[in-house]
Amino acid sequence: VHLDSTTQTSDGVCEQDFTLDGIPGVLWTPAGAAGTPAVGTAARPLVLLGHGGGQHKRGPALVARARRLVTALGFAAAAIDMPGFGDRPKTAEDERFVAEIAERRAAGEPVGARIARYQVARAGQAVSDWQATLDALADLGYPGPAGYWGVSLGTLIGVPLAAAEPRISAAVFGLAPHDALAEAAARIAIPIEFLLQWDDELVRRDEGLALFDAFASTEKTLHANPGRHAEIPEFELDSSERFFARHLKA
Amino acid sequence: VHLDSTTQTSDGVCEQDFTLDGIPGVLWTPAGAAGTPAVGTAARPLVLLGHGGGQHKRGPALVARARRLVTALGFAAAAIDMPGFGDRPKTAEDERFVAEIAERRAAGEPVGARIARYQVARAGQAVSDWQATLDALADLGYPGPAGYWGVSLGTLIGVPLAAAEPRISAAVFGLAPHDALAEAAARIAIPIEFLLQWDDELVRRDEGLALFDAFASTEKTLHANPGRHAEIPEFELDSSERFFARHLKA
């Protein structure tokens, strides 16, 4: 892993870019806390932040969430660009898919199920990217425990990730349908907080409820709120923090 | 209102019994804070606690919740015995109903819908009791704003109360079906936190979801968790507190 020399510190948060075999990422830590914790101290909990569709590792809401995890909980947070987003190239297939979705939207057709199938089918690369990132962050002194936060695209990738990766010990998911994720969800038994938008224009309500139902976790909690796909209320930011505080603190 | 002379203070909480036209109740306040707040200070927020079926104003979980509202938030809390519960007499009709439910349970028949219809049909008396209690607490220096917390029986009575009573400005409800409460729920527009148990043996999942859907509130949040009717997880206690802190603090 290559940690960029440009480190920005502001308001108690240290923000460092990194690059790992072509995967661009960002690591947020409490200022002055970078590097390996002293021998005998517990590892600093880490939360991976999976961005949404059309977004990237440094979207404003994602950065705000990362900074809150650092300042309110003293955790580390990390984000990477998913394949085809942010600073990573789109394949010819990605370009065709983007054009297809734009056409369907213009025609007023539903697109949620199509997006879910496409992204889950290619989630293997993103899962490998996150696993390599976890290895690299462990080398930098952040071996976990690790939480994962990601809704919409962040869940289409995060559910296969959590099913494959035992280092993820708690996750916030949501805004995704059952159909494409049922098999992976059934293999997940870690604590889950699941966000559902009651008037989601991309994910049918019964599909979202069915995905919540599919997790094998004994502790899972569904938070449903009125509003469209992108309208998760502000207070859920606070709730996610408390969820991670419950499950990741020593 | 008659405030009993026996006042118990422990761990920073003052607990006072009161009696109001035959309604026995309890008021919890921060120790040393009883009586009217000083002129010019905001009124202390108040949360009414509606007990569940077979319970009463001083059940252990209810008392624990009241004490947390006082110690964590500095709020006042109050509970009364519902008609036919705790220190209040059962009518002959109540006795027949209790016997009928016991018979149905013994026969393995579902009882949730029957309980809901019975309790909602007679909720008028309980609503009046709570309104008289609000009047009396205002005279004692607690004019509100007032929140309401109550699930199961606490919701069968609380929903008609919140529909009738403008002094209730935020409420936690749950564990109740749509059928008997639809009309009252549609007249409620205050912020709601709604608890649903995913494996509730008394309330069908679709009935609980339909009741959440029926509230006219623009801010309403559904918290669904695995488990049976009485198995609401401990972390929802904390969530309810934060809900009231958001909505009742000045």
Q: Tell me what percent of the residues of chain A surpass a pLDDT of 90.
A: 88
Residue A34 pLDDT greater than 70, yes or no? no
- The shortest CB-CB distance from B222 to any of A220, A223, A246 is to A223
Cα–Cα dist B129/B26, whole Å = 14
What's the sign of the alpha-carbon dihedral A80, A82, A87, A89?
A: positive
Interchain CB distance below 8 Å, B221 and A223: yes
Task: Tell me if chain B has a CB within 8 Å of the CB of A249.
Answer: no
Q: Which residues of A74-103 are buried (b: 16+ CB within 10 A; e: fewer)?
A: ebbbbbbbbbbbbebeeeeebeebeeebee
The residue among B239, B244, B247 with the most chain A CBs within 10 A of its CB, best to mutate, is B239
pLDDT at residue number A178 = 96
Q: pLDDT tens digit string along A67-86?
A: 999 999 999 999 999 999 99
Averaged over A41-52, what is the pLDDT? 91
* Residue segments in chain B with a per-residue pLDDT below the cut of 50: none
CA dihedral B208, B211, B212, B214 (to 10 degrees): 160
Q: Does B209 touch chain A (CB under 8 A)?
A: yes
pLDDT of residue A8: 83
SS3 state at B73 = helix
Residue A38's pLDDT band (boundaries 50, 70, 90)? low
Where are the alpha helices (H) located in B144-204, listed in sequence order?
153-164, 182-185
> How many angstroms separate the CA atoms of A101 and A117, rounded?
12
| Averaged pLDDT, A86-112 | 95
**CA torsion B72→A234→A11→A27, rounded to 10°?**
110
- Average pLDDT of chain A, as a whole number: 93
Amino acid, single-letter form, for residue B76:
A
Asked whether residue A230 carries a pLDDT value surpassing 90, the answer given is yes
Residue (of B146, B176, B140) closest to B37 by Cα position: B140
Mutation site for B-interface testing, chosen from A196, A199, A215, A223 by largest number of B Cβ within 10 Å: A223
Chain A residues whose CB is inside 8 A of the B235 CB are 221, 242, 246
Categorize the per-residue pLDDT at A10 as very low, low, confident or very high, splitting at 50, 70 and 90.
confident
Q: Give the nearest partner residue to A221 out of B220, B225, B246, using CB atoms.
A: B225
Residue A245 at interface with chain B, using a CB cutoff of 8 Å: no
**Per-residue pLDDT tens digits for A129-148:** 999 999 999 998 899 889 99
Binned at pLDDT 50, 70 and 90, residue A37 comes out as low
pLDDT-derived band at A41 (thresholds 50, 70, 90) equals: low
pLDDT reported for residue B37: 54
> Are B224 and A238 in contact (CB < 8 Å)?
no
The answer to whether the bond into B233 is cis (omega within 30° of 0) is no
Q: Which two tokens stand for residue A102?
A: 């734009």
Percent of chain A with pLDDT over 70: 95
Q: What's the pLDDT tens digit per position in A181-209? A: 999 999 999 999 999 999 999 999 999 99
What are the φ/ψ torsions at residue B142 (nearest 5 degrees)?
-125, 75
Task: Record the pTM.
Answer: 0.93
